[in-house]
Amino acid sequence: MQARRVGGLRLPTRSPLLRIIARSVLVAVSVTWVSFSLMRLTPGDPAILLLGDQATDELIARMREQLGLNGTYLEQLGRYLSQLAQGDMGKSVVFGVPVTTLIAQAVPVTLQLMLVSITMTVILAVPIAVYVSLNPKGRGASAFLVLASLFVSTPAFFTGLLALLIAAVWLKIAPVAGIVGNLPEAITYLWLPSLVIALALVPILARVLIASITDTLREEFVEVAIVRGVRGWTFAWRYLIRPSIAPTLSLLSYIVGTLFASAVVVELVFNLPGTGTLLVGAVSGRDYPLVQGIVLFSGVFVVIIGAFADIVTVRIDPRVGR
Amino acid sequence: MTAAASAMSLPRSMARRFRLLPGSARAGVIIITAIVALGLLVPILSPYDLYEQVGKANAAPTFEHPFGLDSLGRDIVTRSFGAVRIDIVVAIVGVMIPLLIGTVVGGLAGTTDLRVVRGGVGLLVDGINAFPFLILALGVIAVIGTGAQAMIIAIAFTSWARYAKLARTRAAVLRDLDFVSALRLLGYSRARITVRHILPNCFSETVAYGVSDFTLVILTVAALSFLGAGVRPPEPEWGSMMADGRIYLQSAPWILVGPGIVLTITAFGVSLIGEALKDRSRG
């Protein structure tokens, strides 16, 4: 991947692994700075916005301190970074609890939702992609193209509410909302919201896989395998899917970002107490430290996943990253 | 050609261009034209008001009210099409502002010789792009407040970096091309080369991306309003109408179906056009 350059900077190392890590660290710093700056975008004083006009000067000063808004810009940034380094994201204004505690409670739900969704996406997308790339002119392929556009343009909250209505209210094959326990037994609560997310992700993954498999099909070793008479799943896995994974991996951080965003909406629809529900509550309650914490977490999480995908890509295919 | 003649040939050349589009893009153009026309006409021609109660709250669909009535007894057909105006306008502005900012910033960052500027802008762009779109937009809204205007600012803040990344890559390629060196040898100033030659070339790429980005922005506008962070009631807006429908999901499911269908069809139409343009720019 483009690990050689970070922005316009040339990194003085030849090891692809080190380059990926250095790049990710720099991007993570940028992510941190963006989420730090977020709270400083306010047109007015966040402390006064939270407390109202009637608040005494003393109360406002204390609130400013709690939000980390006292002192000069550089002092604020320094304090924010040193607190972050100690794992301190500040205290929630609404709950009065450390932000890290709230996020740590919500993250397992979101991660399990993401895990089930991504598994479903792969299970659905791979056979579709293999079928369409082997029959590119068939009816299935054109049906896929239209359906892909349709599913990508259907908002997750519409599919989610319809799924809830059909599966939970009418057919009663899924619980109406909420979650009890963890995977694997929580699958009864997670399969429907995950399916909703997967419906939007399958077209994205399948399209990239199709393009990638179509490229692979032009390779000589595929022809040789066909001539040798390799058939069925061995052929599909060894000669079509496995050589086509590397280009798909670079999409992983994009997929995880999309997952995170659709999780916000889907968690709200299905009443799952994950980071998305926490974020929406924090936004309407103007809980600045909590909002900032979740935003930062989502950005850093995507950067880490991206670095992981890059490293795996380099491992699988050493041509990349040289 | 005189101005009058070129004005006369405009519809004809548009018709020719339309015929040259691939089938799916033609379907997209027809869908969007129909949606915009209905969005303009339905609120005027409908016997019902956008904001006034016209019947019993949560009434089921009937012949007079094909999509039913919402929780305040307003006609959902009228409101679903009445929402076209605000949703499309917010989406258009929400695509154009970041497209402009991103292309100019990215184009300049790609052509400058100042390593610090190039690296700094690159890092900032990568940093913003790392965030999930909806989450960073929600973060901005938490700070600046809700409403259509705030939503546009939040989308612009988040989206410009995607355009900047495209423009920066394109500009970095362009500045090393022969025609740019030729212009430099001819003695044209740096500013003129950038403004007249590099930026227009960047725009042709970012505009093609912008059309496909339009789908994402329409869906994000609706999602933000659905989450209560976008357009405020009583303004008709698909997302906030569906948030109303969510509350009455068991007793009055039709409330969310009308706006959901109109929103999906609109996004579908735009994505058909976007796909075709993306394929074309890819060559």
Q: Do B130 and A257 touch (CB under 8 A)?
A: yes
pLDDT on residue A322: 46
Residue B56 domain-assigned (yes or no): yes
Euclidean distance between CA atoms B140 and A39, whole angstroms: 8
Q: Is B2 within 8 Å of chain A by CB?
A: no
pLDDT on residue A154: 92
Euclidean distance between CA atoms B126 and A195, whole angstroms: 30
At residue B156's C-alpha, the angle toward residues B151 and B158, to 5°, is 100
Nearest beta carbon to residue B227 from set A5, A253, A268: A268
Average pLDDT along chain B? 86
Euclidean distance between CA atoms A321 and A311, whole angstroms: 9
Residue B3 domain-assigned (yes or no): no
Residue B6 domain-assigned (yes or no): no
User: pTM for this structure?
Assistant: 0.88
Residue B10 domain-assigned (yes or no): no
Using CB atoms and an 8 Å cut-off, which of residues 93-152 of chain B contact chain A? 109, 115, 118-128, 130-136, 138-144
Q: What are the chain B neighbours of A162 within 8 Å (beta carbons)?
A: 260
State the amino acid at position B62 in one-letter form.
T
Q: What are the chain A neighbours of B271 within 8 Å (beta carbons)?
A: 149, 152-153
Range B215-233 average pLDDT: 90
10 Å CB burial of residue A73 (0-12, 13-18, 19+) is: exposed
Q: Do B131 and A154 touch (CB under 8 A)?
A: no
Whole-angstrom Cα Rg for chain A: 24
Euclidean distance between CA atoms B47 and B23, whole angstroms: 36
Range B89-99 average pLDDT: 94
**Max alpha carbon distance in chain B (Å)?**
76
Most confident of A174-178, B64-68, B269-273: B269-273
Q: Do B130 and A306 touch (CB under 8 A)?
A: yes
Mapped onto helix, strand or coil, the DSSP state of residue A91 is strand
Residue B264 pLDDT exceeds 90: yes
Contact present, B50 and B98 (Cβ < 8 Å): no
As a whole-number percent, the residues of chain B with pLDDT over 90 amount to: 34
Euclidean distance between CA atoms A290 and A240, whole angstroms: 45
Tokens standing for residue A261: 């965003």
10 Å CB burial of residue B201 (0-12, 13-18, 19+) is: middle
Domain count of chain B? Answer: 1
Euclidean distance between CA atoms B94 and B156, whole angstroms: 6
Residue B125 pLDDT exceeds 80: yes
Euclidean distance between CA atoms B110 and B225, whole angstroms: 36
Nearest CA in chain A to B249: A165
Nearest beta carbon to residue B127 from set A27, A39, A43: A27
Q: What is the CATH number of the domain that holds B180?
A: 1.10.3720.10
List C-alpha distances in Å: A7 to A30, B160, B188, B240. 11, 16, 28, 39
H-helix segments, B49-175: 76-111, 115-130, 133-144, 148-174
Candidates B205, B92, B212; CA nearest to B156 is B92
Q: Whole domain around residue B91: which residue ranges?
A: 21-282
**pLDDT class of B4 with cuts at 50, 70, 90:** low
Residue B234 domain-assigned (yes or no): yes
Contact present, B91 and B214 (Cβ < 8 Å): yes
Lowest mean per-residue pLDDT among A306-320, B137-151, B189-203: A306-320
pLDDT on residue A4: 47
Contact present, B86 and B148 (Cβ < 8 Å): yes
Euclidean distance between CA atoms B85 and B37, whole angstroms: 10
Q: What is the DSSP letter of A10?
A: E
Residue B265 domain-assigned (yes or no): yes
pLDDT on residue A319: 59
CA distance between the termini of chain B: 31
Total H helices, total E strands in chain B: 11, 0
Range B161-188 average pLDDT: 88
Residue B197 domain-assigned (yes or no): yes
pLDDT on residue B6: 54
Residue B12 domain-assigned (yes or no): no
pLDDT (tens place) for every residue of chain A, 322 residues total: 344 455 445 555 667 788 888 889 999 999 999 988 888 777 677 777 777 777 788 888 888 877 877 778 888 888 888 888 888 888 888 888 999 999 999 999 999 999 999 999 999 998 898 888 888 888 888 888 888 889 989 999 999 999 988 888 888 777 777 777 777 777 878 889 999 999 989 998 998 888 888 888 888 888 788 888 777 777 777 777 777 777 788 788 888 888 888 899 999 999 899 999 999 999 988 888 999 999 999 999 999 999 988 888 887 766 555 4
